[in-house]
Amino acid sequence: MKPIPLCWRIVLVRPRNPLNIGAAARALANFGLRELVVVKPYGPVWQETRSAVGAEEILKSARAVEKLEEAIGDANWVVGTTTGSRRTLDRHLIPLTDFARWLRRRKARGRAALLFGSEKTGLSNEHLSYCHGLVRIPTAAHCPSMNLGQAVALFCYELARSGALSVPLPAPKVDRSQPANAQSLEHVLERAARVLGHAGYFKPKTRASQLIKLRRFLLDLGLSSNDARVLGGVLAQVEWKIESAGG
């Protein structure tokens, strides 16, 4: 089975229990992953994270960031994890056991970020709107939600098991046919939002949820790096025209 040329980053969003950060780091080390990013760790949590056996290196180089965008900006693939049990999701959930096949079908390569939500609430709808795919561990219906450290370990194991780990990065150059990374999509979205704002598209009350829908829509288009560049250019032109006309 040919390996999938992806370089993975594990992203913990707002974890509460320092033991879980340590356990996650150890699981990364166990399976040869290297990159851990923690989004908005609860203040004391981040400092308390004890060095987990064998994972000192990973914890030392782990980054803490304020916003999810900083954690996934350069990723071509963003994948969210969810039990899918607590909210009505209108999206397909990929069983973890099929995840490698899903990646292979898309000829995924480059940088990939795997998001885990906080112990209590999981990932929010806004977090999920950044994700190309949502993966679910096939757990029993009467006890679907897993411990965070254990869930991270299962993903690392499954990625290793199915040849979806590639360290170091497969190709130094930008692959234009791959999905645009999260940062350039976000730039397109911001520009589109400004244009739509000028056009009176948003209602103050629903602006946030409208943006989430737009992000989903944009993601589902499956824009390549090149597409995002072209679309960004088009929107910049429209924005310029509206502003100069309206000014």
Query: In whole angstroms, what is the distance from residue 77 CA to residue 224 CA?
Result: 11
Query: In whole angstroms, what is the distance from residue 59 CA to residue 49 CA?
Result: 8
Shortest distance (Å) from residue 148 CB to its own copies: 11
**Dmax (CA) of the chain:** 62
Stretch that binds its own copies, among 42-50, 62-70, 125-133, 150-158 (CB under 8 A): 150-158
Does residue 196 contact residue 239 with C-beta atoms inside 8 Å? Answer: no
Output 53 or 169, the one with its CB closest to its own copies.
Answer: 53
Judged by CB under 8 A, how many residues of this single chain contact its own copies? 30
**Of 67, 92, 121, 138, the one binding its own copies by CB under 8 A:** 138
Does residue 51 contact residue 19 with C-beta atoms inside 8 Å? Answer: no
**Of 65, 89, 94, 160, the one binding its own copies by CB under 8 A:** 160
197: nearest Cα among 235, 228, 230, 231:
235
Query: In whole angstroms, what is the distance from residue 195 CA to residue 189 CA?
Result: 10
Binders of its own copies among 34-53, rule CB under 8 A? 52-53
3 contacts its own copies (rule: CB under 8 A) = no
Does residue 179 contact residue 222 with C-beta atoms inside 8 Å? Answer: yes
**Of 18, 30, 89, 163, the one binding its own copies by CB under 8 A:** 30
Binders of its own copies among 67-126, rule CB under 8 A? 97
Would you tell me which residues interact with its own copies (CB under 8 A)?
Answer: 19, 23, 26-27, 29-32, 52-55, 97, 137-140, 142-147, 149-150, 153-154, 157, 160-161
